């Protein structure tokens, strides 16, 4: 019987790469996100490599919709082995006294509350089977705080705390929890943070070989396929040219 993975935010970046990686490796894949067209394209791509796919089109911020959609999944898809809480975003980069409160709400609602809604809907299915593995995609912004990062950093610090808390609460249910904290990775992340400003987004990665989404997918796959008695609790991954949120080296020119 194939194993089942559910990935939030599979329409782009890390989530899409994780879906592709696990599909190639023979997993049945549940892909989720708000952009229906992207979901449909990915579903087609994964079918073409012979994978079994279920697309769920929802916004993680919609508490009741999340619960209903997970409840209404076909029974054979409910044996979820791996949950990847990946959907998330940074919006804006401002000092605390000038920050946009709508941006703050979006980050907290998505990165913290959305992650909780999905977890609350999926984890009872794992508890019932006494088996499972949760990946929470945090960030180096969950380890340290940088200027203008305030609310995004706070949301990822919350993810870090939730990873630790889930590991304790779910220990007796044989559910592993792995917290993944990537550094600079070139996805649509900066385009979203700068609200579509391509120039500003490109500038973030200028002179740096940033992580690729596939690097994160490989790491998640590695952690997910270790023997049952081994759990990687927490992993920080940066490009070789980045030490932490403060220090990196850029090639000139």
**Residues lying near ligand NDP in the complex (CB under 6 A):** 8-15, 33-35, 38, 59-61, 86-89, 110, 114, 137, 139, 182, 184-185, 187-189, 192
**Which residue's CB is nearer to ligand NDP, number 2 or number 120?**
120
**Residue 163 touches ligand 8X3, criterion: CB under 6 A:** no
**Residue 137 touches ligand 8X3, criterion: CB under 6 A:** no
Of 229-248, binders to ligand 8X3 (CB under 6 A) are 245
**Residue 134 touches ligand 8X3, criterion: CB under 6 A:** no
**Residue 211 touches ligand 8X3, criterion: CB under 6 A:** no
Q: In three state form, how does the secondary structure of the chain look?
A: CCCEEEECCCCCHHHHHHHHHHHHCCCEEEEEECCHHHHHHHHHHHHHCCCCEEEEECCCCCHHHHHHHHHCCCHHHCCCCEEEECCCCCCCCCCCCCCCHHHHHHHHHHHHHHHHHHHHHHHHHHHHHCCEEEEEECCHHHCCCCCCCHHHHHHHHHHHHHHHHHHHHCHHHCEEEEEEEECCECCCHHHHHCCCCHHHHHHHCCCCCCECHHHHHHHHHHHHCCCCCCCCCEEEECCCCECCCCCECCCCC
Q: Which of the residues 64, 146, 152, 221 is marked catalytic?
A: 152
If contact means CB under 5 to 8 A according to the sort of partner, which of ligand 8X3, ligand NDP, none does residue 14 touch? ligand NDP
If contact means CB under 5 to 8 A according to the sort of partner, which of ligand 8X3, ligand NDP, none does residue 45 touch? none
Q: How far is the CB of 156 from ligand 8X3 (least distance, A)?
A: 6
Active site residue 152: yes
**Which residue's CB is nearer to ligand 8X3, number 55 or number 111?**
111
**Residue 115 touches ligand 8X3, criterion: CB under 6 A:** no
**Which residue's CB is nearer to ligand 8X3, number 134 or number 140?**
140
Beta bridge partners of 30: 6, 54
Binding site for ligand 8X3 (CB under 6 A): 139-141, 149, 184, 245
Tell me which residues are annotated as active site. Answer: 152
């Amino acid at each position: 019987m194939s194993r089942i993975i559910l990935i939030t935010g599979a329409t782009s970046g890390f989530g899409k790469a994780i879906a592709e990686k696990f599909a190639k490796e023979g997993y049945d894949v549940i892909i989720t996100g708000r952009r229906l067209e992207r979901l449909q394209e990915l579903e087609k791509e994964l079918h073409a490599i012979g994978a079994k796919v279920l697309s769920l089109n929802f916004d993680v911020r919609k508490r009741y919709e999340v619960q209903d959609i997970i409840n209404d999944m076909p029974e054979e898809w409910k044996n979820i082995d791996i949950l990847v809480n990946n959907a998330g975003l940074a919006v804006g980069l401002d000092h605390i006294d000038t920050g946009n409160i709508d941006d703050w709400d979006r980050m907290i609602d998505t990165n913290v509350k959305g992650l909780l809604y999905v977890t609350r809907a999926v984890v009872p299915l794992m508890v019932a089977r006494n088996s499972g593995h949760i990946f929470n995609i945090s960030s180096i912004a969950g380890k340290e705080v940088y200027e203008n990062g305030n609310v995004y950093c706070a949301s990822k610090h919350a993810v870090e705390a939730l990873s630790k808390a889930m590991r304790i609460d779910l220990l007796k249910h044989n559910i592993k929890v792995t917290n993944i904290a990537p550094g600079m990775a070139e996805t649509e992340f900066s385009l979203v943070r700068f609200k579509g400003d391509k120039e500003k987004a490109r500038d973030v990665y200028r002179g740096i070989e940033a992580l690729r989404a596939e690097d994160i997918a490989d790491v998640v796959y590695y952690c997910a396929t270790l023997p049952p008695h081994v759990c990687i609790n927490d992993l920080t991954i940066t490009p070789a040219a980045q030490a932490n949120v403060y220090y990196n080296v850029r090639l000139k020119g």
